Amino acid sequence: MSNHVYKKIELTGSSPNSIEEAVQTAITKASQTVRNMRWFEVVETRGQIVESKIAHWQVTIKIGFTLDDE
Amino acid sequence: MSNHVYKKIELTGSSPNSIEEAVQTAITKASQTVRNMRWFEVVETRGQIVESKIAHWQVTIKIGFTLDDE
Amino acid sequence: MSNHVYKKIELTGSSPNSIEEAVQTAITKASQTVRNMRWFEVVETRGQIVESKIAHWQVTIKIGFTLDDE
Amino acid sequence: MSNHVYKKIELTGSSPNSIEEAVQTAITKASQTVRNMRWFEVVETRGQIVESKIAHWQVTIKIGFTLDDE
Amino acid sequence: MSNHVYKKIELTGSSPNSIEEAVQTAITKASQTVRNMRWFEVVETRGQIVESKIAHWQVTIKIGFTLDDE
Amino acid sequence: MSNHVYKKIELTGSSPNSIEEAVQTAITKASQTVRNMRWFEVVETRGQIVESKIAHWQVTIKIGFTLDDE
Amino acid sequence: MSNHVYKKIELTGSSPNSIEEAVQTAITKASQTVRNMRWFEVVETRGQIVESKIAHWQVTIKIGFTLDDE
Amino acid sequence: MSNHVYKKIELTGSSPNSIEEAVQTAITKASQTVRNMRWFEVVETRGQIVESKIAHWQVTIKIGFTLDDE
Amino acid sequence: MSNHVYKKIELTGSSPNSIEEAVQTAITKASQTVRNMRWFEVVETRGQIVESKIAHWQVTIKIGFTLDDE
Amino acid sequence: MSNHVYKKIELTGSSPNSIEEAVQTAITKASQTVRNMRWFEVVETRGQIVESKIAHWQVTIKIGFTLDDE
Amino acid sequence: MSNHVYKKIELTGSSPNSIEEAVQTAITKASQTVRNMRWFEVVETRGQIVESKIAHWQVTIKIGFTLDDE
Amino acid sequence: MSNHVYKKIELTGSSPNSIEEAVQTAITKASQTVRNMRWFEVVETRGQIVESKIAHWQVTIKIGFTLDDE
């Protein structure tokens, strides 16, 4: 983190299995349009319940990426 | 909210009449460039005062929309 | 609010029209099982968007009611 | 908001009808002693319940007004 | 989330293994008395340490369920 | 806090004398219907003023109790 | 809390003995210039330490009072 | 901070140059009507942008001052 | 702030010298792709330490800009 | 608070009797290893319940002390 | 948690695999210098992204440990 | 930030001149006993007022440093 400028975007990823997988799902999707992603911050963790089971984890993250001349 | 990825953006809409109308104004404007909007969350409610009257409600919301290939 | 004990419960009411109506919907539903409700506090305001229109306001409130022998 | 100094005061207004009206009630009362009010920020929304109906909305706002020699 | 009313309750589940399992433990326990659970929100994540090892994850969640006549 | 599930409820107790007594009042009232209470957390401290004296302390707490089959 | 407008002011009272006494000290001082005080909310509790003893409790409260035609 | 009572007021000062100057501007203005100011706390830092330059820093502070008979 | 709609984006700018310069760096970078920026709000202030010296200030801001057809 | 540097540490003290005594217990314990303690800030107030009675108050504080060469 | 005094320290642990492992890493490191650790609280969850993959989870926790003579 | 463990400590530095200088003062003091400091986060900005002038800026930061085998 030297002399750069970063932008943060907010995404919600989901997964039937784990918090970690839900975060990776969001990052993978973002990588289709955003390059140079550097870090993420978890801002909310929720999920859906179906028949008393966790059906999906839904994790909202902020992703920071470089805006510098690339 | 099944297996999707959502993005959230933050907008401020205004209205001389009500909080509800200010939120709809922001959503309508967003619809010019964003498709598949699903939900919003109110994050701040303020307003302008002119001659001791509420001149405009200014409501900041986060809008969530699908990033999936639909 | 003199010498009483109060309990708070958390509900989410919805309405296609307004924040006020969504709150009243939650209170009306609660009145089927809870007596002596005294006050509410809004803790979250969100909503659903369908075709770029606010389809439902979803307002989460805490309701305080008396636990005393009345 | 150029070179001015603003003061903020905190008021709670009430209304049997709506959040908007409760805010206007507070501003109208404040206008008896404060001039040059410019904006408000909603900080808390609550209300009284009487016989399972919203009897009063009670909305707490901060009002910002100019302290400059105008 | 259409025209329903939801209630939220707050539970703490525990697990020696993972955050995900602690949440499922709480939901499973709640299912003994609550029907129609729809979503949860993680509000606190803590744990016990015994001999420098994580002995139990303790995760507090809010569970939302339908209050409607179903 | 081993392998249990806990539920938290939110109560407001009051006392003309002290914060401590207001909390005990809430716990005593809750004990009429809830068993196995284990801990509380203070979430808000307020009070009524009558003729420039503190008339009642009103302390809101969350109480955690065991849901397990004991 | 019917149709009134309330103003809130923020004060810090102190006491060598207790939180309760520090709050009463602030209210007593306020009563020299403010009438119709109705409630207070504790917003911060701190204190001074002198030679490993609590020398003073310093409790910051918001006091709400009626602005109606007095 | 011994046996005194303090009042806090909330002001927003501005400056084209720096956060520090914006705070001093608010304090200087307050000194026209308030004596015995002791400390301030920064509660919000914002600013205006004109043609992609910071036109004004706008810093909101709380100022604490003595209410005692001095 | 009359009848417009605003969008907010979140950026982190950096500077070896000051908070003010870090904010301007973020705004200057944003101006390459965003027009009509109106205000910013500081949401986080951090920095890097190298050999016990502040090497870079890293200030995260939200920038608000007009979405209207201007 | 002139030209010094302070360090803050976080402690939880307990007492069967009162919040005030729990805080003093933490400070007394800290005084065995820390000198020049100046102030504390209450950050959390909780307690244990045994047989529907408050068994222990558990109060978490931050203690500030001077790091200067004194 | 009876009559003890606890100290809390704040650590950030990391792991390429999971939140749980990152927390254990921090606790293991702390155990080299701290005895009698009892509980932890997760205060922040973030991570590094390298080539659109989560490279490291970075979890900040507070660890509570006994200060008593044991 | 790869596979390390970090500890955070909380310090308050002061300066008669600027926020930046107050932070550097805290870091310089910490460097007498802590090595491998990597980053800081500003958590509170306050100051003393003497005769209507800012006498000292008092900035509280958290400093993160490496705990690894160095």
pLDDT digits (tens, 9 = 90+) for G7-45: 999 999 999 999 999 999 999 999 999 999 999 999 999
Between residues D21 and A69, the one the model is more confident about: D21
Please report the sign of the dihedral spanned by the C-alpha atoms of residue K35, residue K39, residue K40, residue K41.
negative
* Mean pLDDT taken over chain A: 93
- Does G70 score more than 50 pLDDT? no
> Tell me, what DSSP letter sits at residue G16?
S
Among candidate residues E65, E10, E68, the one with its CA nearest the CA of residue E39: E65
Torsion of CA G49, L24, K62, K4, to 10 degrees: -20
Q: Give contacts of H18 with chain L, Cβ < 8 Å.
A: 18
Confidence of residue E39 (pLDDT cuts 50, 70, 90): very high
Convert the pLDDT of each residue in I9-31 to its tens digit: 999 999 999 999 999 999 999 99
Q: Do L8 and K60 touch (CB under 8 A)?
A: yes
Convert the pLDDT of each residue in B40-70 to its tens digit: 999 999 999 999 999 999 999 999 999 966 4
Q: Where are the beta strands (DSSP E) in chain B?
A: 6-15, 37-50, 53-66
* Shortest CA gap I52–chain A (Å): 16
Per-residue pLDDT of chain J (70 residues; tens, 9 = 90+): 456 899 999 999 999 999 999 999 999 999 999 999 999 999 999 999 999 999 999 999 999 999 966 4
For the whole prediction, is pTM greater than 0.90?
yes
Task: Work out the end-to-end distance of chain C between its first and last CA atoms, rounded to an integer number of angstroms.
Answer: 14
pLDDT of residue C4: 87
Q: Do H67 and G10 touch (CB under 8 A)?
A: no
Residues, chain B = 70
| C-alpha span between D39 and I69 (Å, rounded) | 25
Helix (H) and strand (E) counts in chain H: 1, 3
- Does C1 score more than 50 pLDDT? no
Q: What angle do CA K28, K31, K34 make, to 5 degrees?
A: 150
Between residues K4 and J27, the one the model is more confident about: J27
| C-alpha span between K20 and E46 (Å, rounded) | 11
Q: Do A8 and I13 touch (CB under 8 A)?
A: no
Query: How many CA atoms are closer than 13 Å to the CA of F59, on its beta-carbon side?
Result: 24
Instruction: State yes or no: chains D and H have 3 or more CB pairs below 8 A.
Output: yes
φ and ψ of E33, to 5 deg: -125, -15
Question: Mean pLDDT over residues D12-40, rounded?
Answer: 97
CB-based contact (8 Å) between G6 and chain D? yes
Q: Give contacts of K64 with chain J, Cβ < 8 Å.
A: 12
Tokens linked to A19:
């918090």
Measure CA H42 to chain center.
Answer: 8
| C-alpha span between K25 and K15 (Å, rounded) | 7
- Count contacts between I and L (CB, < 8 Å): 36
pLDDT of residue A68: 67
Question: Mean pLDDT over residues K27-37, rounded?
Answer: 96
Residue G63 pairs with which residues in a beta bridge? G9, G40
| C-alpha span between K41 and K61 (Å, rounded) | 5
User: Three-state SS string across chain L, please?
Assistant: CCCCCEEEEEEEEEECCCHHHHHHHHHHHHCCCCCCEEEEEEEEEEEEEECCEEEEEEEEEEEEEECCCC
Q: Give contacts of I39 with chain H, Cβ < 8 Å.
A: 46-49
Confidence of residue I70 (pLDDT cuts 50, 70, 90): very low
* Shortest CA gap K45–chain A (Å): 6
Tokens linked to D33:
């002693």
Neighbours of C27 (CB within 10 A): 21
Q: Give contacts of F60 with chain E, Cβ < 8 Å.
A: none
Could you tell me if G22 and G57 are in contact, meaning their C-beta atoms sit under 8 angstroms apart? yes
- Does K2 score more than 60 pLDDT? no
ipTM of the prediction: 0.95
Cβ under 8 Å to C: B residues 10-69: 18-20, 23-24, 27-28, 30-31, 37-42, 63
B1-4, long-range: CB < 8 A, 24+ apart? B1/A14, B1/A48, B1/A56, B1/A58, B2/A14, B2/A48, B2/A55, B2/A56, B3/A14, B3/A16, B3/A56, B4/A14, B4/B66, B4/B67, B4/B68
Residue L14 pairs with which residues in a beta bridge? L58
Confidence of residue L4 (pLDDT cuts 50, 70, 90): confident
pLDDT of residue F4: 87
Neighbours of F51 (CB within 10 A): 7
Q: Which residue of C has its CA nearest to E68?
A: C29
Confidence of residue F70 (pLDDT cuts 50, 70, 90): very low
Pick the range with the lowest mean pLDDT from C60-69, D58-67, L47-56. Answer: C60-69
Query: How many CA atoms are closer than 13 Å to the CA of B57, on its beta-carbon side?
Result: 24
* Shortest CA gap E21–chain C (Å): 25
Query: How many CA atoms are closer than 13 Å to the CA of E53, on its beta-carbon side?
Result: 4
Contacts of B44 (CB under 8 A, 6+ apart): B12, B59, B60, D41
Q: Do A10 and B5 touch (CB under 8 A)?
A: no
**Which chains reach chain H with 3 or more Cβ–Cβ distances below 8 angstroms?**
D, G, I, L
Instruction: State yes or no: chains K and A have 3 or more CB pairs below 8 A.
Output: yes
* Shortest CA gap C24–chain E (Å): 11
